[in-house]
């Protein structure tokens, strides 16, 4: 059995679901070559409706599929993205048509609290030093379609550069933070610690790097690779950094 969705409309019910509808429509255009109409009233047929219920931090979502009508409900933007990703991953895009070959009704609650991926802007990769903000936004979107809820950037403490990098690490860190705000995804930063820096110097660098970020959810200091601090001193510095960040 095929469920036909060629020419379907996307309905929304609030500003958050309207943002999700815009993202969804762009993803459909990439795959089908046309931009679905976005409406604020649910049509009688051939639609996908995105709705926010009881707005909260919960990541669960519900997909209810009945013939050529789908209603996706969630509590936040990221969960609506996870929800419409069910459609994107299971729909067939063929010769201008869009259809499903089976009912995609499902209710899901992620089992893992942190589902992250590191995508730093450094010179230690074969491609990313050529990337711009558009490539990072595309990458983060793709990760979210497969359930990612956190991305991790490099702090830029070592100020790595290459002749191919169009932005400083600080500029790209700010851009990634802005993207995370837009898509409701958490941002972690990998921040190495060095014994040559005093606690005060480390905190000063931390403020210089992060005070301009619109969003920072997690600061992750690795115990090495890179970094050279030993156990007790490392922990004490982390405690001081946490206190400073929580001010």
pLDDT at 139: 96
Stretch (H or E) spanning 245: helix 231-245
Q: What is the pLDDT of residues 109-163, one digit of tens each?
A: 999 999 999 988 887 777 888 899 999 999 999 999 999 999 999 887 766 677 8
Strands 69-74 and 116-118: unpaired
pLDDT at 54: 95
pLDDT at 120: 83
Give dist(CA 213, CA 199) in Å, integer.
22
pLDDT at 159: 65
pLDDT at 202: 93
Give dist(CA 175, CA 151) in Å, integer.
13
SS3 assignment, position 11: strand
Q: What is the pTM of this model?
A: 0.93
In this structure, what DSSP letter does residue 71 have? E
Determine the average pLDDT of the residues in 163-177.
90
Higher per-residue confidence, 123 vs 18: 18
Higher per-residue confidence, 128 vs 229: 229
- Say yes or no to pLDDT of 23 above 90: yes
Q: What is the pLDDT of residues 182-221, one digit of tens each?
A: 999 999 999 999 999 999 999 999 999 999 999 999 999 9
Q: What is the pLDDT of residues 33-83, one digit of tens each?
A: 999 999 999 999 999 999 999 999 999 999 999 999 999 999 999 999 999
Strands (E), the chain: 3-4, 9-12, 38-39, 47-52, 61-66, 69-74, 92-94, 97-100, 106-108, 116-118, 150-154, 186-190, 218-220
pLDDT at 65: 98
pLDDT at 122: 81
Residue 193 and residue 226 in contact, taking contact as beta carbons nearer than 8 Å: no
């Amino acid at each position: 059995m095929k469920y036909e969705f060629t020419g379907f409309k996307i309905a929304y019910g609030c500003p958050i679901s309207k943002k999700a509808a815009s993202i969804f429509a762009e993803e459909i255009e990439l795959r089908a070559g046309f931009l679905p109409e976005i409406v604020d009233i649910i049509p009688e047929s051939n639609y996908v409706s995105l709705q926010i219920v009881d707005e909260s931090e919960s990541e669960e979502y519900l997909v209810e599929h009945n013939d050529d009508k789908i209603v996706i409900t969630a509590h936040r933007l990221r969960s609506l993205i996870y929800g419409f990703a069910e459609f994107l991953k299971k729909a067939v895009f063929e010769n201008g048509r869009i259809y499903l070959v089976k009912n995609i009704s499902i209710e899901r609650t992620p089992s893992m609290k942190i589902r992250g991926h590191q995508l730093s802007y450094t010179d230690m990769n074969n491609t990313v030093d050529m990337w711009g903000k558009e490539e990072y936004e595309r990458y983060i979107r793709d990760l979210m379609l497969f359930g990612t809820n956190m991305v991790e950037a490099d702090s830029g403490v070592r100020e790595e550069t290459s002749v191919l990098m169009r932005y400083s690490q600080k500029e790209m860190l700010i851009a990634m933070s802005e993207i995370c705000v837009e898509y409701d995804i958490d941002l972690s930063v990998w921040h190495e610690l060095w014994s040559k820096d005093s606690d005060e110097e480390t905190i000063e660098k931390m403020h210089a790097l992060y005070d301009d970020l619109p969003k920072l959810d997690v600061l992750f200091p690795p115990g090495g690779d890179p970094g050279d601090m030993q156990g007790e001193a490392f922990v004490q510095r982390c405690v001081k950094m946490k206190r400073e960040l929580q001010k």
